[in-house]
Structures are given as structure tokens and as C-alpha cells.
Amino acid sequence: MLNAICVFCGASNGGRPEYPAAAWELGTAIARQGSTLIYGGGRAGLMGAVADAALASGGKVIGVITTLLKDRELGHTGITELHVVETMHERKMQMATLADAFVALPGGLGTLDELFEILAWAQLGIHAKPVGLLNANHYYDGLMTFLDHVDRERFLRLNHRADIVFDAGVGSLLGKLDAVATR
């Protein structure tokens, strides 16, 4: 079992009810399996939903947020631990250090930045932790098509495209991440 799962997601709910529902389902599942949720420390949007769901299910939630975002009153004050750092790079580094695996929920540029940085770190050998995309309402279909194209064009090394776990179901995604982590 994965001890800590980092979730990248938006501070917005997006435009479809399936996105907050997926965040709630993921937070609940992480807590119920006994894993700690690591996330960006926010209280709004999908970040707030995944954290609130984990808390409601008795889980431990650790947030990492920058001073700038916390000062804008976006920090979640009801979580187990809230770490405040100065820069976005420190934020991503601390979340990566605390986590055993990563899941990207739907989100915008910040979510994609976190996802691609952690994928690049895996390709560079900085970590060997599993990375998954929760494809709620087909959100990541286009991205997966693009990554397949990047792989076909030989810009991914060592079969890294195959290492990206991709699933629309929370339970099956978490199971696949656990299987990758234990091999």
C-alpha cells in the first residue's frame, strides 16, 4: 500500500460536476485505504474537495502552500498539517519528497506544470514513484493522445509513456499505482 499520495488538481471546480465528484471520490478512497493525502494546501475548488473528502473519511491530509497563496486566504486551515514555503519550486519539491505516488485530477496550467515536472523528474531518474492521471469525464484523452505522439516521435526515453498510469476509475487507478510501486 502507498503510504502517501500526492494529488495535483485545480483551485477551481472546472465546468462539469464530474470533476468535483471525482476529487471527492479520490480523497475518500485515499483515506479509506489508510494513505495520507499530500496536496497543494488550498481550500478552494478541486483542492478543497479532495482534502475535505479525505478528512471526512478520517484521513490524514498534509498541504504545502506558498506564503503568497496562503496570504490570499486560500490556505485550508482545517487539515492535519499545512506547510508554508516561499516558492512554487519549494512547494513542488516538498510535495514530491513527502509522496510515494502522484495523481493528477483535472486542472489548469498549475496542475499541468506539477504533472509535467514530476514526469520529467521520473524520466531523469530523480524519482521512481508511480504517476497517474484520473481521467474524469475524459479530461485527459487529448493529453494522452499527445503523449502517444511524443512517444512515437521518440522524444520519450526508456518507455516512459508506458509508465504513466491512466484510468477513469478511482479504485482501478489506485490499484495500478500500487502495483507499479511494488514492482
Per the structure, the complete domain to which residue 175 belongs is given by 4-181
| Cross-strand bridge partners of residue 134 | 167
Assign 3-class secondary structure to 110-139.
HHHHHHHHHHHHHHCCCCCCCEEEECHHHC
Determine how many CB atoms are found less than 10 A away from the CB of residue 24: 19
pTM, to two decimals: 0.96
Per-residue pLDDT 10s for the chain (183 aa) are 899 999 999 999 999 999 999 999 999 999 999 999 999 999 999 999 999 999 999 999 999 999 999 988 689 999 999 999 999 999 999 999 999 999 999 999 999 999 999 999 998 889 999 999 999 999 999 999 999 898 889 888 756 676 789 999 999 999 999 999 887
Number of domains forming the structure of the chain: 1
Residue 121 sits in a domain of what CATH number? 3.40.50.450
DSSP secondary structure letters along 38-72: EE--B-SHHHHHHHHHHHHTT--EEEEEEHHHHHT
Element (H, E) at 104: strand 101-104
Amino acid identity at 7: V
